[in-house]
Amino acid sequence: MPNFFIDLIAATDEGRREFETHPVVFASVAHGMSIERYRALLCELYHIVWHFNPICAAAASRIDDGYANIRHFLYRHIHEESGHEQWVLNDLEAIGVSREQVIARPSQNVLALVGFNYWASDRRHPCSVLGMMYVLEVLAAVYGGPFSATIRETLFLEGERGTSFLSSHASLDAVHLAELRDILNQLTSEDAKAAVTESVLVNFRQITSVFGAI
């Protein structure tokens, strides 16, 4: 069976490691972050999560019939992720941020991240959406657990109050990552693979900028 998943990891390894070793990310996973920074991060995450499904829908609507498996995968994913932005809003409320404050205006880094993903789904290759999904699910499955545990511990948050989005995605996205791996391994078109690889690199770079700027 072709293994594009491992090729993708190898081709984008540097981007992942640059995210992981960015001083802000590194310090956050190891030692947590201040409540102000955590509020700022969740506000940014809200916009990323809110646009996740519309981007998937845009890609699903443009994808060629030859990729029916990917279109159905996107439908399922859209259904599963539906309403998750509300989890972010609940967490923000738990740490003292009102809905109005959150929705105000995303940063330029988030605008660039979201903007790229809409553009790539529309003009580059609809399969590039899989690159965005890969990055977000790797972040949640690999870094989400330790990060939310540290945040809970350092900000003295009880149970999942204030961290429900991060901690539930840490376990949810481990399952999603396995499903995404299967879909990526079904890709045969070199154009589609190139688009996914490019998208992973851009998404890692942008998400690192989002973390770096908070």
141 vs 210, beta carbon nearer other proteins: 141
21 vs 86, beta carbon nearer other proteins: 21
Smallest distance, other proteins to C-beta of residue 128, A? 20
**Which of 68, 103, 178, 213 touches other proteins (CB under 8 A)?**
178
**Which of 62, 71, 84, 181 touches other proteins (CB under 8 A)?**
181
Give the separation between CA 190 and CA 38, rounded to whole angstroms. 40
**Which of 43, 138, 192, 196 touches other proteins (CB under 8 A)?**
138
Smallest distance, other proteins to C-beta of residue 152, A? 12
Identify residue 37 by its one-letter amino acid code.
Answer: R
Smallest distance, other proteins to C-beta of residue 2, A? 10
Rule CB under 8 A: say whether 104 interacts with other proteins: no
Rule CB under 8 A: say whether 9 interacts with other proteins: yes
Rule CB under 8 A: say whether 136 interacts with other proteins: no
3-state per-residue secondary structure call for the chain: CCCHHHHHHHHCHHHHHHHHCCHHHHHHHHHCCCHHHHHHHHHHHHHHHHHHHHHHHHHHHHCCHHHHHHHHHHHHHHHHHCCHHHHHHHHHHHCCCCHHHHHCCCCHHHHHHHHHHHHHHHHHCHHHHHHHHHHHHHHHHHHHHHHHHHHHHHCCCCCCCCCHHHHHHHHHHHHHHHHHHHHHHCCCCHHHHHHHHHHHHHHHHHHHHHHHHC
**Which of 78, 111, 174, 201 touches other proteins (CB under 8 A)?**
174
Rule CB under 8 A: say whether 29 interacts with other proteins: yes
Q: Please give the residue ranges that form the binding site for other proteins (CB under 8 A).
A: 1, 3, 5-6, 9-10, 13-14, 16-18, 20-21, 23, 26, 29-30, 138, 141-142, 145-146, 174, 177-178, 180-181
